[in-house]
Every structure is written in C-alpha cells, then in structure tokens.
C-alpha cells in the first residue's frame, strides 16, 4: 500500500502514545481518520486538535475488549466514510506481576484488551476489507516483549507473543487467498508513552476487593527497570515513521529500534540449539 490520500484509517488506542502519533502521520498523508479509544477526554482533545489542523476526523469511544464496541466502530466508520483501508490494532495495556501472583482479574483485563481487542477487530474488519476488494493494510501493535523472553510484566508478555502469532497466521491466510490486504506486526522496544500508567483506564469490573497483590522485591525491581526504559525510549513519532515506511514496502516485521535485535537473535538461537532461555538486557538501559 503506497497511496494514502483520501483513504480511511481506523486507529484503536488513538488518544495517546503510539496511536496518537499514528493519527498525526495519517493526517499528514491526507487520510480520513477514525480515532478509537476508551479514554474519553483525551480522545476528544486529539479529535479537536486534528480537526483544528484541517483534518477529516471521527472520534468513537471504544472499549476494544468488547465485541459490540468494535462492531459499533466499524459501522460508524462505514456510515461516515463508506470504507476502511488501513487498520491499526494499537490499543494495549501493560500489566502483570509474576505468573503466579497475577490475579484472574489481571489476566482477564490485559488479555481482553491486548489480544481479544485485535481478535474482535480482525473478525469484523477483515471481511469488510475483503468485500471492498481494494488495497488495504492491517498493523497490529505487539512489542519486542512478543519476540524475546524475560521475566516480569508477565501477562503483557504472554499477550504480545500471542499477538505476534495471530499476525503471522493472518498474514499467511490472507496470502493464501491472494487478497489485497497486507499485514504487519509492530514490535517496538521501550517507547515514551503512558503504558506504565495504563491502570488509569482499568474498568471497575476488573478491580475487585482483595485483588491487589503486595509487590515483592523482584517485581519492584522489574517495574523500576521498565519505567526507566520507557523514560529513555524512542518517541512515538519515530515509531509512526518506521511503521509507514514498512506499510509502503509491504514489510511484515517492524522493529523501530535496532538495539533490541540481539535479544531476538538470542531467543532464536536458544530455540534452535535447545538451550534454556536467556534474558538479554539492552546495553543502553
């Protein structure tokens, strides 16, 4: 997909971070943009800012974990613009203590947003794209955490590995039917976003009395490591720029920060050599 002018982009998690940067880049490419997010005030601010700049923008409050919200998002997109050409399954939350300390509510919240959000959108938007018969592209925002192995942020890691696999499978299936839909999986390392404060949007249904787990020295150290990494991370704009270069060249794997490639290489070598997993810490963190 090389031509973007007057085409329609749908972006989940569009109110901040990578999603906000993708929205700005879509506007620069003269696309019509549908912004989806669960954070109402932030979503409205982005809509107003982009409209003030002359963009054609529609904001839809969306909880991606709920299929009916994605159905509504798709319908409003069709009602307003008649088609969708570029889908960014970008909404995501961080979370998870150790595997054994994370609560069932923790697992449900993170997996429902990070994995089921992409599943819902894929099942609803892909048939629309196939019916259109036009050139389209889907970008799923996973993470380097979905390509390498390590401790901490456990549910997030599991969800992102699953999202990488979903993306790879979708790529092969669409290629087998010779569709005009391209697929990419975006796997950034640390990025300067609010991912460490994702709990601000955690619904009450996933926050039950007694669910809070006291942090251990290990989980505290890992949390500090992640927060430090995010503070030193690349900008969301850099991620958006790398993403559009990949879309234009129909590239599947998008790794905006090359400093993390050693961790991916080490995991592949561990698998091929049947070695126990190695945790590789990037040298610049």
Phi, psi (deg, nearest 5) at residue 65: -75, -10
Closest by Cα among 17, 39, 3 to 230: 17
Q: What is the pLDDT of residue 284?
A: 60
Q: What is the pLDDT of residue 196?
A: 65
Do residues 226 and 218 touch, judged by C-beta distance below 8 A?
A: no
Give alpha helix (H) positions in 53-103. Answer: 67-81
Do residues 146 and 157 touch, judged by C-beta distance below 8 A?
A: yes
Q: What is the pLDDT of residue 133?
A: 96
SS3 7: coil
Selecting among 156, 171, 206, 260, the annotated active-site residue is 156
CA distances 243 to 86, 186, 254, Å, are 12, 7, 7
Q: What is the pLDDT of residue 275?
A: 98
Asked about 260 being catalytic, the answer comes back as no
Per-residue pLDDT of the chain (285 residues; tens, 9 = 90+): 899 999 999 999 999 999 999 999 999 999 999 999 999 999 999 999 999 999 999 999 999 999 999 999 999 999 999 999 999 999 999 877 889 989 999 999 999 999 999 999 999 999 999 999 999 999 999 999 999 999 888 999 999 999 999 999 999 999 999 999 999 999 998 888 877 677 787 878 887 645 556 667 777 777 776 777 677 778 999 999 999 999 999 999 999 998 889 999 999 999 999 999 999 987 665
Domain 8-260 CATH class label? alpha beta
């Amino acid at each position: 997909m090389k031509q973007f002018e007057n085409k329609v982009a749908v972006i989940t998690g569009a109110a901040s971070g990578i999603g906000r940067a993708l929205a700005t880049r879509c506007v620069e490419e003269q696309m019509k943009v549908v912004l989806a997010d669960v954070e109402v005030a932030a979503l409205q601010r982005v809509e107003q800012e982009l409209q003030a700049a002359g963009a054609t923008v529609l904001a839809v409050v969306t909880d991606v974990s709920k299929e009916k919200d994605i159905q509504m998002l798709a319908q409003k997109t069709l009602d307003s613009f008649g088609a969708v050409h570029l889908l960014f399954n970008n909404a995501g939350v961080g979370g998870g203590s150790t595997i054994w300390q994370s609560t069932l509510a923790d697992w449900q919240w993170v997996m429902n947003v990070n994995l089921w959000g992409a599943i819902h959108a894929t099942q609803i938007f892909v048939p629309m794209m196939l019916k259109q018969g036009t050139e389209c592209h889907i970008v799923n925002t996973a993470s380097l955490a979905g390509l390498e192995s390590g401790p901490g942020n456990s549910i997030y890691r599991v969800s992102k590995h699953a999202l990488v696999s979903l993306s790879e499978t979708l790529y092969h299936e669409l290629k087998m039917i010779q569709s005009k839909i391209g697929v990419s999986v975006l796997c950034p390392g640390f990025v300067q976003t609010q991912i460490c404060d994702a709990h601000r949007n955690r619904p009450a249904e996933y926050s039950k009395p007694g669910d809070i787990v006291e942090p251990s020295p290990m989980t505290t150290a890992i949390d500090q490591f992640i927060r430090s990494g995010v503070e030193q991370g690349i900008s969301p704009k850099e991620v958006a720029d790398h993403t559009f270069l990949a879309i234009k060249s129909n590239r599947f794997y998008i790794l905006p920060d090359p400093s993390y490639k050693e961790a991916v290489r080490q995991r592949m070598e561990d698998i091929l050599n049947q070695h126990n997993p190695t945790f590789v810490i990037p040298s610049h963190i």
